[in-house]
Structure 1
Amino acid sequence: MKNKYTIKDVKKILLNNDFDKTTMQELSNDTRTGVKKLLEQYYKIQTRHQELIDKFHRKEFLERPFWDNNQFVAGVDEVGRGPLAGPVVTAAVILPSNNTLYEVDDSKKLSRSKREELYKQICDQAIDISVAVGSSKLIDTENIYHATELTMRDSINRLYLKPDHILVDAMTIPVDIEQTKLIKGDAKSLSIGAASIVAKVSRDRLMTMYGKIYPEFNFEQNDGYGTKQHLQALDKVGRTKIHRLSFSPVKKINKLY
């Protein structure tokens, strides 16, 4: 008996999800190796997609009670506490309840290209976004922990909307708004995960710019962390205006760039 569909037809049907129960039964009964492989690929993709959706719904459980009461909840995160150079950058993100940011996760778990892709999705879907920058001078004056708190405060205060609640990754923000502090919050909360991506992409772009100003340090690649090339450049040309003087080994370098 001649097959009803060509392999090309089957590929198109599965790609477009263009089938009913009867068609799927026919394909399941098809003995051709090509069809079996296409079905196997299709089921794998569907399984991965469903796992992504399930994970997405688990990560929005902290936001859901506020969304259900028509309240605004902001996720806040930081990036850049550890580097020897460059600012600490924080972001605050308020998401709508009907967002479809299925792949949002802790920015450290994502590739640079995936972060850029999700950054655009977050900007398209978020109700409000704010980014704040804490300079190396602020870090040296206040210490990195307090500088991060102050910069997080700035990111909240610069939002157009005042959130009813804040979800924050392992910090306490000095603002008069109720907040929930979470350990590894960027992996547990959708809003914090979104904020971690916005902060990371924003800081990466900033460090790429600094990399052009101070080419010896390769900031566009190391983000200000103490890599071998970075430390060699410190010894050779001295510290720059964006280095943190309170951090070792920068404090030992007297030579100015």
Structure 2
Amino acid sequence: MKNRYTIKNVKEILSDDDLDTDLLAELSNDPRSGVKKLLEQYYKKQIKQQELIERFHQKEFLEKPFWDQGLTVAGVDEVGRGPLAGPVVTAAVILPSNNTLYEVDDSKKLSRTKRAELYKLICDQAIDISVAVGSPQLIDTENIYHATELTMGDSITHLYVRPDHILVDAMTIPVDISQTKLIKGDSKSLSIGAASIVAKVARDRLMTMYSKLYPEFGFERNDGYGTKEHLQALDSVGRTKIHRLSFSPVKKTNKIY
């Protein structure tokens, strides 16, 4: 008996996640090795997707009690506390309860390509997003920890929607809104994970722009961290206006770019 579908047809059919169960049963009885291989790939993909959704729901447990009462929650995170150059960047993100951001995670665990993809999805689905920048001068004046808290405060106050509660990654934000402090919150909370991605993408883009002004430092590659290339440039051409003077070895450098 001639097969009803070609291998190409089967591949197209199995690309649909919402597959009719009768059709799936029919394909399961197909003796062709090519079809069996495609079915194996399909089931593996389904299992992976289910695991992803389960992890996603686990990350909503901090937001859910607020969402169930119709309240808004802002996730807040920072990027760039450790570099020798460039600002610290913070983001505040308010997500709706019906979001489908299944792959959101701590930005450090994601590739640049995946971060860019998720950044677009977050921007499409978020109720509100705010990004704030803490300058190297603020960092030198206040110290990096307090400068980060102040910048997080800016990201909250610049939201259009005042959140009912804040979830923040291991910091205390100087605003009069109840907040939950979490260690490694970007891995535990969906909202903080989304904020970590927004902050990371924003800072990376900013450092790429700075690399055009100061090409010797390779900021588009090292994001201002003290790589060998960066330290060599610091020795040869000196510090720039975006270097943190309170950070060693910048404070030991007398030469000015």
> 1:16, CA displacement in angstroms?
2.5
Equivalent in the alignment of 1:122: 122
Specify whether residues 45 and 143 from structure 1 end up closer, same or farther in structure 2 by C-alpha distance, changes over 3 A only.
Answer: same
Does 2:3 match 1:3? yes
> 1:17, CA displacement in angstroms?
4.6
Equivalent in the alignment of 1:163: 163
Secondary structure of the residue aligned to 2:14 is helix
> 1:3, CA displacement in angstroms?
2.3
Instruction: Structure 2: state its 5+ residue gaps.
Output: none
Specify whether residues 17 and 211 from structure 1 end up closer, same or farther in structure 2 by C-alpha distance, changes over 3 A only.
Answer: closer
TM-score by length of 2: 0.98
Q: In structure 1, how many angstroms separate the alpha carbons of the residues matched to 2:176 and 2:58? A: 28
Q: In structure 2, how many angstroms separate the alpha carbons of the residues matched to 1:93 and 1:17? A: 29
Equivalent in the alignment of 1:49: 49
Question: How big is each residue's C-alpha offset from its partner over 1:142-197, in whole Å with a ceiling of 9 and x where there is no partner?
Answer: 10000000000010011111110000001011111100000000000000000000
Q: In structure 2, how many angstroms separate the alpha carbons of the residues matched to 1:22 and 1:66? A: 41
Secondary structure of the residue aligned to 1:141 is helix
Instruction: Structure 1: state its 5+ residue gaps.
Output: none
Equivalent in the alignment of 1:237: 237
Equivalent in the alignment of 1:109: 109
Question: How big is each residue's C-alpha offset from its partner over 1:118-152, in whole Å with a ceiling of 9 and x where there is no partner?
Answer: 11111111111101000001101110000000000
Q: In structure 2, how many angstroms separate the alpha carbons of the residues matched to 1:19 and 1:65? A: 34
Percent identity between the two aligned chains: 82
Aligned residues: 257
Specify whether residues 17 and 256 from structure 1 end up closer, same or farther in structure 2 by C-alpha distance, changes over 3 A only.
Answer: closer
Q: In structure 1, how many angstroms separate the alpha carbons of the residues matched to 2:7 and 2:221? A: 45
> 1:65, CA displacement in angstroms?
0.8
Q: What amino acid sits opposite 2:117 in the alignment?
A: E
Does 2:94 match 1:97? no
Comparing 95-104 and 14-23, the one that deviates more:
14-23
Q: In structure 1, how many angstroms separate the alpha carbons of the residues matched to 2:16 and 2:161? A: 40
Q: In structure 2, how many angstroms separate the alpha carbons of the residues matched to 1:77 and 1:205? A: 17
Equivalent in the alignment of 1:20: 20
Specify whether residues 250 and 18 from structure 1 end up closer, same or farther in structure 2 by C-alpha distance, changes over 3 A only.
Answer: closer
Q: In structure 2, how many angstroms separate the alpha carbons of the residues matched to 1:243 and 1:157? A: 27
> 1:19, CA displacement in angstroms?
4.5
Specify whether residues 121 and 17 from structure 1 end up closer, same or farther in structure 2 by C-alpha distance, changes over 3 A only.
Answer: closer
Q: Write the mapping of 1:91-240 to structure 2, written as runs, cut at 5 A.
A: 91-240=91-240
Secondary structure of the residue aligned to 1:15 is coil
Question: How big is each residue's C-alpha offset from its partner over 1:34-57, in whole Å with a ceiling of 9 and x where there is no partner?
Answer: 010000010011111111111111
TM-score by length of 1: 0.98
Secondary structure of the residue aligned to 2:91 is strand
Equivalent in the alignment of 1:85: 85
Specify whether residues 220 and 5 from structure 1 end up closer, same or farther in structure 2 by C-alpha distance, changes over 3 A only.
Answer: same
Question: How big is each residue's C-alpha offset from its partner over 1:50-95, in whole Å with a ceiling of 9 and x where there is no partner?
Answer: 1111111111111111111111100000000000000000000000
Q: In structure 1, how many angstroms separate the alpha carbons of the residues matched to 2:150 and 2:248? A: 23
> Cα RMSD (Å) of the superposition?
1.0
Secondary structure of the residue aligned to 2:90 is strand
Q: In structure 1, how many angstroms separate the alpha carbons of the residues matched to 2:41 and 2:130? A: 41
Secondary structure of the residue aligned to 1:76 is strand
Q: In structure 2, how many angstroms separate the alpha carbons of the residues matched to 1:256 and 1:241? A: 9
Specify whether residues 252 and 19 from structure 1 end up closer, same or farther in structure 2 by C-alpha distance, changes over 3 A only.
Answer: closer
